[in-house]
């Protein structure tokens, strides 16, 4: 008997007249991730309040635009809704779940050192435990994987554009973070850079090769 992830998931989530699709499951996963980040922010009430810069605002705009492109999939937009490739069904959902779980793990490890804007907080320490042994920016890695997984459940122009935009946003953000962190941690962070991948092992992201240290964001 040939049982695949897609067929098994379809039988599990086909409930009455309503059917949960791979895409709507991804929506739920991202909603759960957002709720988890919000709860963790409340838990880590000592998170330093910092002034946002124009660079932070530009990053946020790119981020929101990327998510809007993917999660406004119910609206048919000429050109953006064109199907580029066949969808991967629940395989995409599984990829998204893995990515968001990895991002959440990274956020848990950062704890009170996480902030929205790029900054160094008081008592900042270089994080090299857990997911930080695999990648220097596990939250960005996880979000990127999560968005790629969601895009695979759509297969539309908007999905590819969203992944491209968020990659640009992360490249820009990481460049700023690593410059600040290198200035703060010096040789310690430069050594960490040589030992650990930026986003994904084997995946090259064009980032200025200045040393950096983990900012409380990624």
Pairwise CA distance, residues 212 & 194, whole Å? 11
Residue with tokens 């994080």: 127
Assigned domain for 175 exists: yes
Assigned domain for 139 exists: yes
Residues 129-167: tens digit of each pLDDT: 899 999 999 999 999 999 999 999 999 999 999 999 999
- 3-state class of 161 per DSSP? helix
With cut-offs at 50, 70 and 90, classify the pLDDT of residue 203.
low
Assigned domain for 7 exists: no
Which CATH number is 158's domain given? 1.20.120
24 versus 2: the higher-pLDDT residue is 24
Assigned domain for 85 exists: yes
**pLDDT value at residue 50:** 55
Assigned domain for 211 exists: no
Assigned domain for 138 exists: yes
CA 38, distance to chain mean position in Å, is: 15
**Model pTM score:** 0.80
Pairwise CA distance, residues 108 & 113, whole Å? 10
Pairwise CA distance, residues 218 & 141, whole Å? 9
Q: Measuring CA to CA, which residue among 104, 95, 96, 94 is closest to residue 130?
A: 104
Instruction: Find the mean pLDDT for residues 11-29.
Output: 73
Assigned domain for 115 exists: yes
Assigned domain for 216 exists: no
The sign of the CA dihedral 179, 213, 132, 56 is: negative
Domain that includes residue 54, residue range: 25-30+50-195
**pLDDT value at residue 204:** 58
**pLDDT value at residue 183:** 87
> Could you tell me how many residues make up the chain?
218
Which residue blocks in 48-89 are alpha helix, DSSP H? Answer: 54-71
The count of structural domains within the chain is: 1
């Amino acid at each position: 008997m040939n049982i695949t992830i897609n067929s098994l998931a379809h039988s599990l989530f086909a409930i009455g007249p309503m059917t949960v699709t791979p895409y709507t499951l991804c929506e739920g996963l991202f909603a759960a991730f957002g709720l988890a980040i919000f709860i963790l922010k409340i838990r880590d009430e000592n998170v330093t309040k910092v002034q946002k810069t124009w660079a932070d605002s530009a990053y946020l705009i790119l981020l929101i635009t990327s998510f809007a492109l993917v999660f406004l999939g119910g609206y048919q937009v000429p050109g953006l809704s064109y199907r580029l490739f066949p969808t991967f069904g629940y395989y995409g959902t599984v990829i998204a779940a893995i990515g968001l779980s990895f991002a959440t793990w990274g956020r848990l490890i950062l704890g009170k050192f996480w902030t929205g804007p790029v900054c160094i907080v008081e008592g900042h320490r270089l994080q090299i435990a857990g997911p930080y042994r695999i990648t220097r920016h596990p939250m960005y890695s996880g979000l990127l994987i999560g968005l790629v997984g969601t895009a695979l459940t759509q297969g539309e122009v908007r999905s590819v554009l969203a992944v491209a935009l968020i990659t640009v946003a992360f490249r820009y953000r990481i460049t700023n973070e690593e410059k600040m962190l290198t200035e703060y941690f010096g040789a310690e962070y430069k050594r960490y850079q040589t030992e650990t991948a930026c986003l994904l092992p084997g995946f090259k992201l064009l980032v200025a090769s200045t040393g950096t240290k983990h900012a409380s964001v990624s």
